[in-house]
Each structure stands twice: as structure tokens, then as C-alpha cells.
Amino acid sequence: MAKTRRGRKSPAVHPVMAAAIKLRPKLRQWRRHIHMYPEPSMEEQETAAYVVEQLREIGLHEMKTGVGETGVTCLVRGGKGRKTVALRADMDALEIEEQNDVEYASRKPGLMHACGHDAHTACLLGAGAILSGMAGKLPGNVKLVFQPGEEGSAGALKMIQDGCLQKPKVAAIAGLHLMHDLPSGDIGIRRGYRNAQTDEIDMTIHGVSAHAAAPHEGVDAIAVASQALIAVQQFLARHTDAVDRKLLTFGIIEGGTRPNILADAVRVRGTIRTIEPAGREAILTFLNKDLRKLVAAMGGKLTVRIEEGYPPLKNDDSVVDALEAAATDIVGEGRVVEVPVPGLGGEDFAYFGIEGGIPAAMSRLGTRDEKKGFTSPLHSSTFDCDDAKVLPVGAAHLAQTAIRMLRG
């Protein structure tokens, strides 16, 4: 403990955090390079090659490439202990045109790292550098998992099916995600459900076309669809447990051919987000049974197609313990925040627990800084972060979590 000028004791910088601070220029260089050259899901060839090149420069050599198509794994061998734990970062970007006027802005039109996966990848490279620098003192092995296709392509599942959790067998896995509503450099911890189950819905309300001036001779699919869409929101608001978070958003509606013809079909597409499996079941039952009856009562016919997306991510308590203890080690108790509710976004990290069958959990790393103007949300064309501040915390947090998991 060092004494501050006011005489209060301030905690000394943790050695892992000190190592991350030394890496700051490298961390920025990595993140900015990846940011400038974004690649969409499952096309992360250049990013994967860059990751391999940087791992080699760090002095790491036990790499596997092409894992789950474009994924990379790298083993950091410890001096003692046989246990192996894993840390994961995602590498894919989004189809968004970047609006940030910065020197490291995307060099690829229509593509941008707007979900912070550039930062995640840089933080994981940093964690690899910190852990490899510990040499014989590392109490086990750490596998670095650089995964492709988080944004809708289930890259995590592809890597698991390709054996990324085997040889050596991984005992538990942790990861982090940037979060724009948390103060820059703070770490968010949550127990239990962290992300939602995502399902795509594609439904068509069929009517019967007729002259617009004689609606009684047909079935107006637009009128029936209007009632059906209101019924869906009514069902969610009044017939399901309000405490259990869930939503159904329709983002596309299309139907009709001419202003003076009764539309014979309306197609709506959207996404269903649920946390508890029972909540999901209730919504699916409503759509497939009750809504069908409602549409039939108005003379229409309903077809519903549900495409199952990512499973919900339920953070494992033992990994959360490691994440929380590591966060406190790195930034101190005052900057570790409890995240009160799960988000309704999807996260394919859930597959590590569900398909991989190992304890898995993720934390959040804050990026919000009003003074410096970092307030844009994830998935927006102006998302950015103060990388000099955020990246060392992320790299140290990941490295220290691995150490905590190995000791646990």
C-alpha cells in the first residue's frame, strides 16, 4: 500500500495491471490495425493471419489455424499444473459504414468494427503477452480462443465442433465484451443469465384479394395483420410474467400490390428475445396456437416459421467468481459494477457452456466517457472507445481471470 498526499492508503497497482500498462502502445497498435481492416463474419482470414503474426512476435508458437473455418487457438504453457483454462475473443466486424473521423477509421467501405470485437481481439493478444511473460510462474495452461462469426454465424459452435476445447482439454472458459453504458474502464459482473435466447420469426397472414371497394367479398390481410400484431404485443404485456424479461420485435412488414386491391398476404419478420425457457415456450405456443385461431376467426390463415438462434447465456458461478476476483485485483472494488439485469442481445459464447459442456462466463468492460465523447452505442456507426484506457484493463482482466481460474 502506498500513501496518497491526503494520507489515505491507495492500493498499489497489481503486477498484472502493471504489465498491461506497459503493453499499452502495443494494445493500441493491435486494436487500431484490426479496426482499420474489418472483415465480416466467417471471412476473418486477414484478421486471423494478423493474430497469428502477432502471437509469434509475442513469442507464442503453439497455434492452430482454421479452427471452425477462420478461428485461431494458441496455447500458453504454464510452468506447473496440468489444468488448462481458456479465454475467448471474437474477431468479426459488422456491415456498417463507419462515421468516425479518426485516423484509424475503417479502410473498408461498408464494414466496421462497431461491436468492439477489434478491442476484444487486442485484449486477448495482450493477455497472451502478459501470461507468456510469467513463464514458469503460470499455474497451468491457458488456451487463447480467437473465434470467427459471432454476429449471427455461431462461430463459437463451429470452433467447439472443430475441437477447440480439446487437446488439451479445457476446464473452463471466460470472455469479456465492451459495453457503452458502463463508465470507461469499469468492469461489469453479472451472475445468472447474461444474454437472451434469440429466435427469428417469419410469419405470413393470408387473406383473399378482392376489389378495394368491396372488402366483404374478400379477406383483407392488412386489416387482419394489424389485429394480429397488436394481439402479439398485448399477449406479451398482459399474459406473460412481467418480471421475466422478453420481447418480440417485428422489423419488416410487407404486403399488398395496389392501393385499390385488398392485400391477399402480409409477411412480417422479426426477432424473439427470451431469457427463461418457460417464457420462450409461452410465446411459441401463443404464436402457433392462439394467434392462428385469432387470424382464422377473422377469415385469414396464419403460417409461422421460427428459426432458432443462439441459446441464452447463463454465466457459470465459478467462472463469475474468477472474473469478479480478477476485476477487483485489476481495477479495485470501486470500479467493479454489478450488472442488475440480463441484456436481450444474443451472444454465441453461450455455446461454450451448452455445447462445450464446460463452465463459461463473460464480464463487461465499460467504454462510456462523456468528457471525451465516447457515448455511442455498440452496433452504431459512431461507436468508439478510449483505447488507451480500456485496452490495458481488458488485457489485465482477462489474464488475471485465467490465473484465478487456474488456481480455483
- Interface contacts to Zn ion, rule CB under 5 A: 115
- 99 is written with which cell numbers? 462515421
In the chain, count of helices (H) and strands (E)? Answer: 11, 16
Amino acid at residue number 353:
G
Q: What is the dihedral of CA 110, 34, 152, 342, to 10 degrees?
A: -110
Name which of 93 and 224 has its Cβ closer to Zn ion.
93
Amino acid at residue number 228:
A
Enclosing H/E stretch for 90: strand 84-90
CB of 114 to Zn ion, least distance (A): 8
Name which of 119 and 294 has its Cβ closer to Zn ion.
119
The dihedral sign for the CA sequence 323, 178, 22, 4: negative
Name which of 120 and 292 has its Cβ closer to Zn ion.
120
Amino acid at residue number 104:
Y
Query: Radius of gyration (Cα) for the chain, nearest Å?
Result: 24
Name which of 50 and 349 has its Cβ closer to Zn ion.
349
Residue with cell 503453439: 62
CB of 380 to Zn ion, least distance (A): 11
CB of 119 to Zn ion, least distance (A): 10
CB of 73 to Zn ion, least distance (A): 19
Name which of 121 and 184 has its Cβ closer to Zn ion.
121
Name which of 95 and 244 has its Cβ closer to Zn ion.
95
Residue (of 93, 97, 31) closest to 381 by Cα position: 97
CB of 379 to Zn ion, least distance (A): 6
User: CB of 386 within 8 A of CB of 369?
Assistant: yes
DSSP state of 79: S
DSSP state of 105: -
Name which of 187 and 266 has its Cβ closer to Zn ion.
187
CB of 32 to Zn ion, least distance (A): 18
CB of 220 to Zn ion, least distance (A): 39
CB of 281 to Zn ion, least distance (A): 26
- Cα–Cα distance for residue pair 372/385, rounded to 1 Å: 9
Amino acid at residue number 75:
L
The alpha carbon of residue 170 and the mean position of all alpha carbons in its chain are separated, in whole angstroms, by: 21
- 137 is written with which cell numbers? 510462474
Name which of 193 and 349 has its Cβ closer to Zn ion.
349
Amino acid at residue number 391:
L
- Cα–Cα distance for residue pair 343/360, rounded to 1 Å: 17
DSSP state of 211: B
